[in-house]
Amino acid sequence: MKRRELLRLLGGASIFPLSAMGNPLDFKPKNKGPLVLSTWHNQGQIANPFAWEILNNNGMAIDAVEAAARSMESDWENCCVGLGANPDRDGFVTLDASIMNHLGQCGAVAFLEDIKHPISVARAVMEKTPHVLLAGEGARQFALSQGFPIEEKKRSAHADKAYANWLRRSEYSPEINIEQNKHKVMPVPDMLESGEHNHDTIGIIALDAQGNLSGACTTSGMAYKMRGRVGDSPIIGAGLYVDNEIGAATSTGNGEEVIRCSGSFLVVEYMRLGFHPTEACKYACQRLLSITPNKTDNIQIGFIAINKNGEYGAYSLKPGFDYTVSRSDLPHEIRKPSSLLQK
């Protein structure tokens, strides 16, 4: 089967010359040693140094991505990661996370409350249970059994203020079975008061000195979401995927859209066909765009990817997405990938 026919079957993406790519494909190191990528510069600039300290000392990629994720979960001022982040519409902060190593082992938690480091609970699920995903009270009880402490149930000052403002604007008060009592569900804002997107998950992927890949993803999900909503972050194949023979990918953005196309898995499969990580991310965006039933006005998606050769790349649906890359010759450099749409 020809390459063009494969692309048509995998999502209708069109072939284009490399010179037509808005983002040049010049990141071809043939594995120049350790490498780590994180979504969003404001998070990656904090998280990547934690990962790099491990990678630069011949540490394992799985330890590096966990350390990077934990650094953001500890940031009480973060809007979208950790217990200090914005709550759901009933005022509760719920956390999702996933992690995957070079052996294909993976673990995840969803709808987890009162635990500071969901990424480490996800790793415990991976290493200490026969399961992949634990959710809700079951995930909480498992965390307790593994010695994770329960944190005080309180919102950060910035989250409390933003939530109060949202309640005033939305005229919403928590109510049992509200979906049956109202004609429509209260909308979730696309942008936060800070001007940040309402879906700023941090995804981290890394290649270590031994040539092994791992990835991690952690988030509090969309602010003011319906209680119980879970996005792509804890879903292996959607928010995160690692195949140590091929590459690793992670996503950020509207989780429902990423789930619909198994986004991170799709990126890795395009790399399996021989496409550069940048091309693979672009084709995944094209596939997502071709199948979404929603208007693109309120959708933003970004993918980042690394292949086994140490090549890396990214692409987004719209402008505004960026990521941080760290390598021996790139000390926590911010990159802005190209996008399919102009706005």
What's the token pair of residue 179? Answer: 């979906």
What's the token pair of residue 197? Answer: 């997107």
Is beta strand 106-112 parallel, antiparallel or unpaired with respect to 133-135? Answer: parallel
Residues 6+ apart with CB under 8 A from 245: 308
Q: Which residue has the tokens 């966990």?
A: 66
- Look at phi and psi of residue 67 and say left if phi exceeds 0, alpha if psi is from -120 to 50, else beta: alpha
Q: Which residues pair with 249 in a beta bridge?
A: 241, 305
End-to-end CA distance of the chain: 36
The sheet carrying 312-316 orders its strands as: 240-243, 247-253, 301-307, 312-316
Task: Determine phi and psi for 221, rounding to 5 degrees.
Answer: 80, -175
Q: Which residue has the tokens 């480490």?
A: 120
What's the token pair of residue 138? Answer: 């079951």
Pairwise CA distance, residues 87 & 90, whole Å: 7
Residue 201 annotated to the active site: yes
Pairwise CA distance, residues 203 & 39, whole Å: 5
| Active-site annotation holder among 39, 94, 201, 219 | 201
What's the token pair of residue 269? Answer: 């499969």
Coil/strand/helix, residue 328: coil
Active site residues: 201
